[in-house]
Structure 1
């Protein structure tokens, strides 16, 4: 017996990417994992502060806060990857009618 669930489509990965670029953690909020976004913001601030303290005084703004920018870039990639994975899972489940048991069963040899 096959049961199909009509799950709503997850957010567009490009929307999530644009939001994550525009505002830190907003991509994670759109995906429904705001705590993960807050964790990224926390580490962004901490590493930006640390690099600001150890960077030479003649370094540029980006150089003084390089740790925060690194975490910011990683948060953008993380949000986009999560969105892409959710879309792929949604397409796969829609294509196979939501029946995961039939797709994982091995044929008898």
Structure 2
């Protein structure tokens, strides 16, 4: 799968980029921490905090997972191209 499609997948659904990269456990770990930190900031945020502020912990982890999935996909693609038989 192309790195661009994996990037799009990671943007739309947290953890799916890692799953497409063949790392389902890593994707599950990202989803777990997105939910954990999202819930933690939701509970600890002040009542007048905006929804984005209340979910900022989960959004931060999600934002970290996106470039990680893309970078891994690009590395995997480069390795495939290097090991591909040449005519």
TM-score over 0.5 for the pair: yes
Please identify runs of 4+ aligned residues in structure 1 that moved more than 6 A: none
Counterpart Cα distance in 1 of 2:79 and 2:50: 43
Residue 80 in structure 1 maps to residue 62 in structure 2: no
The residue aligned with 1:47 is 37
Residue 17 in structure 1 maps to residue 7 in structure 2: yes
| Cα shift at 1:93 | 2.2
| Cα shift at 1:29 | 1.5
Counting only pairs closer than 5 Å after superposition, residues 1-109 of structure 1 correspond to structure 2 as: 11-94=1-84
Choose between structure 1 and 2: higher helix proportion. 2
Give the structure-1-normalised TM-score: 0.73
String of CA shifts for 1:34-84, please: whole Å, max 9, x gaps: 110000000001101111122111111110010000000111111111101
SS in 2 for 1:49: helix
Q: How many residues align?
A: 86
Give the structure-2-normalised TM-score: 0.90
